[in-house]
Chains A and B, each alone.
Chain A
Amino acid sequence: MSMPALELKQVSRQFGTQQVLREIDLQVFPEETLVLIGESGCGKSVTTKLLAGMLEPTTGTVFWQGRDVASLSAEEKLRQRLKIGYLFQSAALFDSMNVYENIAFGLHQNTDLKESTIREIVQDQIRAVGLTVDVGRKKPSELSGGMRKRVGLARALALAPEIIIYDEPTTGLDPVMSDVVNELIITTRERRPVISIIVTHDMHTVQKVADRVVMLFPLAGLEPGQPQVIFEGTPEQAFSSREERVYSFVHGDATRRLQKLALA
């Protein structure tokens, strides 16, 4: 197997007294689509923010293309970070800007391109996510949830990143719009050889887009020393797993959890 593009090695992360991640090992390989699943609060989003360099680990090391992120200069870090596009859970569009300005933000900030070139790129991105160019004039507050997600994706794609992180891309969307977003993830991957890292609770997304699935478990439910990554494999292996925690999550089956609660 080739060298991982991104890697977490024995990474732990703590916020105040609350530990969220404990000695996680995770590798992301070129051109793969990795899906992170797990119960709410298990640290999936924190994991992606560590991978994107938006958070620093409390202990452990994050590698980008084999280089320790902590050893990079601010400039190198910025250059590397721009290779990672991030679609936030809430889309995180800037409220004070319209859609055009949101998508053009990264280009204005990091390039010396002419406004006419930026306009072309923005319009291409708007069309690529299945919206019409006139949406560009609208403010985020005027958009539906699905449109916001698509604008967020267009913004993440505008700088032509090599890695795209999708944080719960289908959460809060109706089934049809969820499928539209899933299709967009696939088309984006088909158009360019990108690495996709997707955090989701949506098993339909897992089935449709994943090459590899990693499941994290909340530390609150683990004994000291137990690994937090409880599953790593293909989507088929995830769906056929008999491991209790994987099975109940993947199939949305709370029976055993409820039995445990009743016994307690």
Chain B
Amino acid sequence: MSTGKLHRTPIHWLGELVIQPVEFVGDFVLFSWLTFKWVFSCWPRSSVIWPALYQVGVLSLPVVVVTGAFIGMVLAVQSYDQLRVMHLESQLGAVVNLTLVKELGPVLAATMLAGRVGSAIAAEIGTMRVTEQVDALEALGADPIQYLVVPRFLGCVLLIPLLTVVADAIGIYASWLFSTAVLGVNSYYYWNYTYQFVTLFDVSSGVFKSVFFGAAIALVACHRGFNARAGAEGVGTAATQTFVYSFVFILFLDFLSGVLLSQISQWLYG
């Protein structure tokens, strides 16, 4: 009797091994293209966009504040020991704040966003997919990408720069407080070296790359949600994959933007 399944040989397995990743990348690129098409042509109603902005921005604020504060203090502790050996502890502000605004602020804000918002988006859309709510959207004349992906994409892309600025600011303040109150660093030198070494370009480069992190998180989360398999396990897997893939994507984009921005910086400032 026919089983309805195609007969598979080792050649099929080998083919699958090659085709599946290619299909995955192709599907993701197509998904991203459709999202961009909607972003630049027609946004959904504001009543759909505001909740997404609230979910991404306002609800992420506490976790970004806490993370920023601790990272600022941890950086101060770790760097202080190293600098003290070289009698350069007065330059602590420059080291900590440069690291914060160029690297850790944007990357940590993005990581927290991937963990908190990305996984939630994947789980929400995944649940909608397996309970046929995505099909229902289509049946009622709404494009699921326009309706579900565009608001979340806009939320991540528009608000991650603000979250990054908040993480930077809180990190800088926490590190200053800890350095001066606990480690005994002179406040004047702390700020003086910061102004000397941290440029506007450093701050804006961190904010600039965060936009790409936000886009990557939103696209990965929505794509995983749309492709979630049925059942609690399928939705759980989509949420986990979102965090893992987003994190890898963030690091990859961080590397790329690091190389690019370093070239631009050299070109601008020599």
How near does chain A come to B130, taking the closest CB pair, in angstroms?
9
Instruction: Say yes or no: B141 contacts A109, CB within 8 Å.
Output: yes
How near does chain A come to B155, taking the closest CB pair, in angstroms?
15
Instruction: Say yes or no: B2 contacts A222, CB within 8 Å.
Output: yes
Q: Which B residues are CB-close (under 8 A) to A110?
A: 140-141
Instruction: Say yes or no: A90 contacts B132, CB within 8 Å.
Output: yes
Contact with B along A27-59 (1 / 0, CB 8 A): 000000000000000000000010010100000
Taking the complex as formed, is A239 at the interface, i.e. its CB lies under 8 A from any CB of chain B? Answer: no
How near does chain A come to B167, taking the closest CB pair, in angstroms?
29
Instruction: Say yes or no: B141 contacts A106, CB within 8 Å.
Output: yes
Interface size of A by Cβ–Cβ distance < 8 Å? Answer: 36
How near does chain A come to B269, taking the closest CB pair, in angstroms?
49
A133-159 at interface with B (beta carbon < 8 Å): 155-156, 159
Could you tell me the distance between the alpha carbons of A221 and B139 in the complex, rounded to whole angstroms? 32
Whether A219 touches B133, Cβ cut-off 8 Å, given contacts A54-B139, A106-B141, A155-B140, is no
Contact with A along B124-143 (1 / 0, CB 8 A): 00011001110111111110
Could you tell me the distance between the alpha carbons of A108 and B142 in the complex, rounded to whole angstroms? 10
Taking the complex as formed, is A223 at the interface, i.e. its CB lies under 8 A from any CB of chain B? Answer: yes
Cβ-defined partner of A86 (8 Å) among B128, B139, B142 = B139
Instruction: Say yes or no: B1 contacts A108, CB within 8 Å.
Output: no
Helix, strand, loop or mixed for chain B's interface?
loop
How many A-B pairs with Cβ below 8 Å? 75
Interface size grouping (class) on chain B: 20 to 34
Q: Which B residues are CB-close (under 8 A) to A94?
A: 128, 133, 136-137
Q: Which A residues are CB-close (under 8 A) to B2?
A: 219-220, 222-224
A68-99 at interface with B (beta carbon < 8 Å): 78, 81-82, 84-86, 88-90, 92-96
Q: Which A residues are CB-close (under 8 A) to B1?
A: 220-223
Contact with B along A103-134 (1 / 0, CB 8 A): 00110111000000000000000000000000
| Apart from A96-B51, A155-B140, 15 more pairs, CB < 8 Å | A17-B8, A18-B5, A19-B6, A52-B139, A84-B139, A88-B132, A88-B135, A90-B131, A93-B136, A94-B136, A95-B133, A108-B45, A109-B140, A219-B3, A222-B2
Can you offer 24 A-B residue contacts whose CB atoms are under 8 A? A19-B5, A19-B6, A49-B135, A54-B138, A84-B139, A86-B139, A88-B132, A89-B132, A90-B132, A92-B131, A92-B132, A92-B133, A94-B133, A96-B51, A108-B45, A110-B140, A110-B141, A155-B140, A159-B140, A219-B2, A219-B3, A221-B1, A223-B1, A224-B2
